[in-house]
Amino acid sequence: MPSIKEYDNKLKSLKNTSKLTKTMKMVSASKLRRAQDLQRESSEYAALCNKFIARLAASVESADHPLLQAREETDKVLLLVYTSDKGLCAGFNNNLIRMVERWITRHRSTYDQIDLSFCGRRGFNHFRSRESVCKNYEDVTKAPNFADASRINDDICRAYMDGEYDAVYLVYNEFKSALSQTPSIQKILPIESREFMQGADPIPNDYIFEPGKQELLNHMLPKTIGFKVFYALLENSAGEHGARMTAMDNATSNASNLIDKYTLLRNRARQAAITTELTEIVAGAEAL
């Protein structure tokens, strides 16, 4: 049986752990609220943007812009994978990484080349020695901003239009709630006009464009892809903070349970030591 001193050391360590996890839970909860506010505002903007793109897509053909043109053969694809830079967020990263591994295994025979780019250190560290890694965008998941998303968007749009890839996918955790983040994969290039028409009312396509149609497409289509990249960053950020808050809450509960358990064991050990001492005193008194 461990000594009372050993139980005291365990209890001290558990109490320190409980304070740390409780603090981390509070910090994550605060960050989650801010991330949710940004996500909610972006969702409203996304709805308005999609309505506009739906009107535009109803009046153009795929040949009007390179980002709308699907390749006859899809041989080279790029996955842009979003994970977190830090751990301590339960299965947030692991679930997404396993989904990417399954997707690659399932499609390895379909495509000649599958490259990966990363937003987040965890995914990059896992795949850099296992798969073909194109780029790693550092420090973009901690505080998502549109400037970083625009930089990523410029890279993937240029690579697609230059023919380096035939399709581009986003892979990220879709934020449902603090308790639920669902790994999701979404094709963003080439842009398919019908995806913007889902749920939209039939719209006449006899528009007069001002500025011209080509100028409007050149401006709006890259912006649309950039916003999708940015929105995925916001979803990833909200999911990370939600997962970490939940994980730290569970860790705090487990630490409290262990504190109760070891306190009981310590009290029993202390009672046993007192009983032993009393027995020795009584035995000594009887011997005298």
The per-residue pLDDT for 127 is 93
Q: What is the CATH number of domain 32-242?
A: 3.40.1380.10
The per-residue pLDDT for 199 is 46
The per-residue pLDDT for 197 is 47
Q: Please check whether residue 252 is in contact with residue 18, taking contact to mean a CB–CB distance below 8 angstroms.
A: yes
How do residues 108-145 score in pLDDT, each as one tens digit?
988 999 999 999 999 999 999 888 899 999 889 888 88
Q: Is the peptide bond before 211 cis (omega within 30 degrees of 0)?
A: yes
Q: What is the DSSP letter of 2?
A: -
Domain assignments of the chain as residue spans, ordered by start? 4-24+247-287, 32-242
**Separation in Å, CA 37 to CA 30, 122, 176, 237, 246:** 11, 25, 14, 12, 19
The residues, ordered by sequence, that sit 6+ positions from 14 with a Cβ below 8 Å of its Cβ are: 255, 258, 259, 262
- Asked whether the predicted pLDDT for residue 204 surpasses 60, the reply is no
Whether domain 4-24+247-287 has CATH 1.10.287.80: the reply is yes
Tokens (6 digits) for 197: 């028409």
| Mean pLDDT of all residues belonging to the chain | 83
CB atoms within 10 A of CB 230: 23
**Separation in Å, CA 102 to CA 76, 187, 239:** 18, 17, 21
How do residues 19-68 score in pLDDT, each as one tens digit?
899 898 888 888 888 888 887 777 777 777 767 766 666 666 655 677 77
80 burial level (CB within 10 Å; 0-12, 13-18, 19+) = buried
Which value, in Å, is the radius of gyration of the alpha carbons in the chain?
28
Find the length of the chain: 288
The C-alpha atoms of residue 150 and residue 41 are separated, in whole angstroms, by 18
The C-alpha atoms of residue 18 and residue 253 are separated, in whole angstroms, by 8
Amino acid at 130: R
